[in-house]
């Protein structure tokens, strides 16, 4: 998913600039010191970022299943964080217990009620699809998710209406603390890469994917430092970074029409 700076600023506060805004950050479930040492040895340009910026952290919510995280993500899509927080607060009020409606409750909620809470028709369909796929077992529990590979989780979760790879990648990074996720379509990561490596253009997704091979098996932590580079540079500098170069196809040489013999 590609965002303009304005759209990027309006993302859910959970995922803004690659940082999930929360009161509780914890160390990831892998050896962060080893990850930073490995990246510093492989890529010297990351050393200043590693030394001078905040270390990678994950959020450990009290009761945040993949269903709950994705339900909130749907509510936050394409609107300001403040408006989304208000709408999601109304959605939670419908459950009667202060938490997000369970999948069973979500399926029973009528469309006019959800409309009145502020959801669009597309978001209602997405939330109900999420609820049904959770009941069907396509969307796993948190305990099940922790046992699945990154690829398995992406395949399962993007099958939900309205959920794309970027949202799943943010879940893998900031909820599960997976060490080797590289969101190649993320604006902050791409612009942070341009800042770090002195480029005037953003990389193409395939270019970033190939470049990121040097960061394995800690591409998550490298992505974190790309976000930090983006933040440190500021919008005045990063707004000057141009989109990825697109090669124009060479014009085909037109053949001259053959002369007719008289």
- Identified catalytic residue from 43, 129, 180, 186: 186
- Provide the 3-class DSSP secondary structure of residue 185: coil
Active site residue 186: yes
Burial of 238 (0-12, 13-18, 19+ CB in 10 A): buried
Q: Give CA 144 to chain center in angstroms.
A: 21
Nearest to 215 by CA among 91, 17, 5, 56: 56
Q: Which of 221, 242, 240 is nearest to 49 (CA)?
A: 221
Mark out the alpha helices in the chain (DSSP H runs).
5-9, 32-42, 47-52, 66-76, 81-93, 103-108, 111-117, 121-135, 142-145, 150-157, 165-174, 187-196, 205-211, 219-233, 235-238
Nearest to 163 by CA among 65, 58, 72: 72
Phi-psi region of 261 (alpha: psi -120 to 50; beta: other; left: phi over 0): beta
d(CA 211, CA 193): 10
Q: Tokens for 241? A: 């970074």
The C-alpha angle with vertex 31 and arms to 52 and 150, in degrees rounded to 5, equals: 105
Active-site residues: which are they? 186
């Amino acid at each position: 998913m590609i965002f303009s700076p304005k759209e990027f600023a309006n993302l859910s506060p959970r995922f803004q600039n690659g940082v999930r805004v929360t009161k509780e950050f914890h160390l990831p479930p892998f050896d962060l010191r080893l990850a930073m040492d490995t990246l510093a040895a492989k890529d010297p340009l990351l050393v200043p970022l590693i030394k001078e910026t905040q270390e990678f952290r994950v959020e450990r919510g009290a009761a945040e299943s993949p269903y709950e995280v994705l339900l909130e993500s749907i509510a936050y899509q394409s609107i300001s964080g403040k408006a989304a927080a208000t709408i999601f607060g109304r959605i939670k009020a419908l459950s009667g217990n202060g938490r997000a409606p369970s999948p069973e409750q979500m399926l029973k909620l009528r469309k006019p009620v959800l409309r009145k809470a502020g959801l669009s028709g597309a978001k209602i369909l997405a939330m109900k699809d999420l609820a049904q796929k959770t009941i069907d077992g396509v969307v796993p529990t948190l305990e099940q998710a922790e046992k699945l590979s990154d690829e398995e989780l992406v395949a399962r979760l993007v099958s939900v209406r309205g959920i794309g790879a970027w949202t799943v990648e943010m879940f893998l990074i900031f909820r599960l603390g997976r060490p080797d996720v590289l969101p190649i379509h993320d604006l902050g990561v791409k612009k942070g890469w341009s800042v770090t490596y002195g480029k005037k253009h953003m990389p193409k997704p395939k270019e970033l994917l190939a470049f990121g091979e040097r960061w394995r098996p800690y591409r998550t932590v490298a992505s974190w430092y790309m976000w930090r580079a983006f933040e440190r540079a500021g919008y005045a500098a990063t707004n000057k970074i141009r989109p990825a170069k697109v090669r124009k196809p060479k014009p085909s040489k037109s053949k001259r029409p053959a002369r007719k013999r008289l």
